[in-house]
Amino acid sequence: MKKKVHNDSIKNLLSSVVKNAPYGMIAIDNCDQIVLVNDQAVSLLKLDVNPNELNDLVIFDQIKHVEQLYFKLTQNSENQHQDFNLDALQFDDKFINIRGRKIVEGYIVIIEDITRDKEMEMVALNSMLEGQELERRRIAKEIHDGIGPSLSTIRLLLENISSENNRMDNTKFTGQMSEILDMIDSITGDIRDISHQLMPKILLDFGIIPALENLVNRINRAERIKIIFYHSILSERFPELIELGLYRICQELINNAVKHSLATEVQVQLVEHPDSLILMVEDNGNGFDKTSIMKENPGVGLINVESRTNAFGGNFILDTAISKGVTATIEIPLEK
């Protein structure tokens, strides 16, 4: 018959489990005092705590520097603690998942380092976006170098036929030729626009500022909306993928404003900081309920903006409400 395990042995066993767990763990009692904490939690959250000398430490005094966790635990304490998840929280130089779980004796917080997974996800996203841009470039080149010149040649031939028939005073034939030439001009213009949207040559040749100025000017000429562009950029060029990414993001956000916001004005700002680029696109349109839209139907445009931003390790903040317009802020880090 097995002997009954002494309470001290059980406590030592639990302490050993917590200490050797492959993730950070903090046990909190119903008075919000830390009962157990392991070295992994101390390291991941940069706690000023000795796991062997807790001395009735209150959890809130130790995590004020981890703002989202502090807010969540404070909120939960007021509501008698509820389960919560903080996914892919960027803290210090790491990405972490934090799980809070209510137990009878108090609360358990589990911290998991997902930095490697996040880095691999960013590499995959970057590879995908780079592949998309290469494919865009290939298609744009084929359109520009193949279909465009062929249509131009056809137009020249039709002009010659039209000139010969003008001398014959064939009014009907001349009218038909004029209609065909107008159609070819329209198709050529459409191809030029498609090619430019796929891979704007001005972006590749001259950089993000001339490209955005060109984008804004084209939209101002074509749409009944005023786009205003400001920038404080001192560097001549940035990495090609960052320039392409910012251009696509700006293109998507302006397109959303033009199509959906009923705005009369859109302000676009691009600001260079020593370690980041910040793009802000703000409209005075009808806005929307961000909570319901992001949960129910965020739309392909917003998903693309978020994916591109994440691929650069950046931050995407969307500030909007019904009848309050939309402000989208994207911060892209720059390598030093």
Q: Are 33 and 58 in contact (CB under 8 A)?
A: yes
Average pLDDT over the chain reads: 79
Give tens-digit pLDDT for 159-209.
776 666 555 556 666 666 777 777 777 777 767 666 666 667 788 788 899
Tokens of 301: 């445009």
Tokens of 171: 């009014």
Band (124; pLDDT cuts 50, 70, 90): low
Task: Give pLDDT, residue 330.
Answer: 94
Q: Which helix (H) or strand (E) segment is 280 a member of? A: strand 276-283
Give tens-digit pLDDT for 85-115.
888 788 887 888 888 888 877 888 898 888 7
Give tens-digit pLDDT for 41-88.
888 888 888 887 777 788 888 888 888 888 888 876 666 667 888 887
Cα(307)–Cα(197) distance, integer angstroms:
19
Give tens-digit pLDDT for 242-287.
898 899 899 889 988 888 888 899 999 999 998 999 999 999 988 8
Q: Are 268 and 278 in contact (CB under 8 A)?
A: no
**Radius of gyration of the CA atoms of the chain, in A:** 30
Region of residue 113 (phi > 0: left; psi between -120 and 50: alpha; otherwise: beta)? beta
Task: Give pLDDT, residue 3.
Answer: 47
Q: Helices (DSSP H) in 51-101: which residue ranges?
A: 59-62, 67-78
Q: What percent of the chain clears pLDDT 70, i.e. is strictly above it?
A: 73
Task: Give pLDDT, residue 208.
Answer: 93
Q: Are 111 and 98 in contact (CB under 8 A)?
A: yes
